Amino acid sequence: MKITVIGTGYVGLVAGVCFAETGHEVVCVDIDEEKIALLRRGVATIYEPGLAEMLASNLRAGRLSFTSSLAEGVRRAAVVFIAVGTPSGEDGSADLSHVLAVAAQIGRHLDGTTVVVDKSTVPVGTADRVLAILQANTAQEVDVVSNPEFLKEGAAIQDFMHPDRIVVGASTERAFKLMRKLYEPFVRTGAPIFEMDVHSAEMSKYVANAMLATKISFINEMARLCDAVGADINLVRKAVGADRRIGSAFLFPGVGYGGSCFPKDVRAIGRTGAEHGLEMHMMKAVDRVNEEQKHVLCAKIDAAFAGGLKGAQFAVWGLAFKPRTDDMREAPSLVIVDHLLRAGAGVAVYDPQAMEGARRHYFKDRVRYATTPYEALEGADAILLLTEWGEFRSPDFDEVKKRMRGRRIFDGRNIYARKEVEDQGFAYFGIGV
């Protein structure tokens, strides 16, 4: 089957590579000529474990190709996936301009019966709009399917190849039949395919992300309360997570969530409610708590450096919003590093994967970029742990003390035990502990 994927971001590139891995002919389309040139050479344009190897092998096998021509990509396609960005607008709504523009282009170039799939995260009613645009631009028979992705950055290949579930929203048996065939290799171990109406499928992605974001904001707010009353959130979350009705997943306090999904999806579902006359109280609170949480560590730093931050030196370990990705979109590090810089502090940063993005898109030359975690410590008064990469979990404290000027550790992910850090002669500042 020829599959076309429009958009080569996290969702589009992972989907294209994984479909090629199961033997399909896959063409990925993107308007970014530089990105297409890199992908044609087998250079992965995002960091995702396993992606580079799978990309290279499918290019060599001839199953995967890249083009900037949508007309070329759509030609002969049995199924076309729309996987372009849907960023938040100023009012929190999802910006559908890219999705709708691509739909019009697809319609103009269809040359046979085709299923067009919304893979981008889109609000309820988008498939209806896409179908109307397609029908206005083509005489070909076309179905529109909602097929939301449930990928975790840092585990996207694993999630795609071995999904918990597949959600397909469609209105014709022909579309359902094609999607079953397409996903058959991925559900052989028994993962369910949930077939439903398009509107329900569109909602499922937002509701899933809203639930996960809610758990994070909930435990972060409880961590603030633990700070206030002298309790230890690490002990509390273990006791609470042992309840099978609640579970322990996503009950890890920290400096807040970020990335391309949770922030915009929480705001978008709130906006969808407003458009239908509903006040989404919980979604507003989840977003507000998360934005405030990014400043919690800043307050702890300010209190510890009562004389002010001007001239103080900080080593930041971790920039990406989570480990196993280079994604810094809405990362807590952006808020925290900016706070330090505005206060006149010096900042050295290290992240295993996000350094190039930080240099190109965020901090430019405002910080010092270290080549190792220990190099970032030279002359530092404090360490700020902002992303829980594995290599940060067991530092050589003798080496740390040799390089640092001060003795403070601000643990934004609670990966260190207070007693062990204090036994090494450091003051420890965690989240809710």
Catalytically annotated residues: 261
**Relative orientation angle of helices 281-293 and 198-229, to the nearest 10 degrees:** 50
Please name the residues in contact with 217: beta carbons below 8 A apart, sequence gap of 6 or more.
257, 285, 286, 287, 289, 290, 293
Residue 68 to residue 38: CA distance in whole angstroms: 12
Strands annotated E in 112-173:
114-118, 142-146, 166-169
Element (H, E) at 170: none
- The DSSP output letter for 362 is I
What residues are paired with 315 via a beta bridge? 348, 383
What are the two backbone dihedrals, phi and then psi, of residue 141, each rounded to the nearest 5 degrees? -80, 130
Query: In degrees to the nearest 10, what's the CA dihedral of 236, 238, 240, 245?
Result: 170
- The DSSP output letter for 94 is B
What token pair was written down for 376? 């970032």
What is the Rg, in whole angstroms, of the alpha carbon atoms belonging to the chain?
23
Percentages of the chain per state (helix, strand, coil), in multiples of 5 = 45, 15, 40
Length of the chain: 433
